[in-house]
Amino acid sequence: MYQRILFLFVATLSAASLLGATPKLSGKPAGAEVQFVRSIQADLMHRFPTAGDAGKAGYVRYTYEDSTGAISYANRQWQSADPQHPSQLWYDVNGILLGADFSVLQSNSATAPHLWGINPTRWIKIPAHVHYITIDPNTKQPIYSGIRMARFTAAGGDPLNPTAQALAKTGAIKDATSVQTIFTFPAIWDLIVWVKPNPLGAFAEKNPNVIPSKNAEKDSM
């Protein structure tokens, strides 16, 4: 979820420079989008109501809580085959399901996807980057971090096979053995959907029904 907030400003500026000002699309679903939202809300809340359920299904936490109150978990499968297979799920600090991201690899689609009746303009571009999780040697707690792809590859890192050793060469970490998890987040088209009811609409950036904790917005990039 946090990626959408992080890159939305850049995407908006790029679009505005090319196309000029355009009306902002409402966060509320319309037409075929209504059934899409209803179906995933029922399905995902049934299968993944808690962060523990996401973990059992192979989703890995990789972020702190963002400004929306969401903590992101990814299954590292970046091509969502259907509405039953989101690439990411997000939960609040109590582990309760908030929403999901669906993704399509940019390498598979040069333009915004036309899928499931969703307005193509709801999909945003996210550039490739690398995420990693280290363990704090003192507290033994996980530290969620990320690095831009240009920095990673400049140090000799392989996007197709990111390693802790390559990460250490960037200077982002001192000790490769501290890395618990590392993975490439490829260039994708991304769609966010709130599963938790949202008066602003399922496609809105924030949800007034979700109150972020005092620790929200800790940067992981």
Of 55, 27, 13, which is closest to residue 181 (Cα–Cα)? Answer: 55
The predicted pLDDT at position 212 comes to 96
pLDDT mean across residues, the chain: 91
Average pLDDT over residues 78-86: 97
User: Percentage of residues in the chain with pLDDT exceeding 90?
Assistant: 85
The predicted pLDDT at position 221 comes to 53
* Residue 142 reports pLDDT greater than 70: yes
Beta strands in 22-178 (DSSP E): 60-61, 71-74, 88-91, 97-105, 124-126, 129-135, 142-148
* Residue 10 reports pLDDT greater than 60: no
Average pLDDT over residues 40-63: 98
Centre a 10 Å sphere on the Cβ of residue 74 and count the other Cβ atoms it contains.
24
- Tokens read off for 61: 């936490």
Extents of the domains making up the chain:
2-127+187-194, 129-184
Indicate the range of 144-148, 149-153, 200-204, 216-220 predicted with least confidence. Answer: 216-220
Average pLDDT over residues 136-148: 94
Q: How far apart are CA 81 and CA 64, in angstroms?
A: 27
| pLDDT bracket for residue 7 (50, 70, 90) | very low
Average pLDDT over residues 153-161: 97
The predicted pLDDT at position 80 comes to 97
* Contact (CB, 8 A) for 65 and 215: yes
pTM over 0.85, yes/no: yes
Beta bridge pairs of residue 74: 60, 88
| pLDDT bracket for residue 125 (50, 70, 90) | very high
The predicted pLDDT at position 14 comes to 39
* Residue 64 reports pLDDT greater than 70: yes
Q: How far apart are CA 198 and CA 210, in angstroms?
A: 9
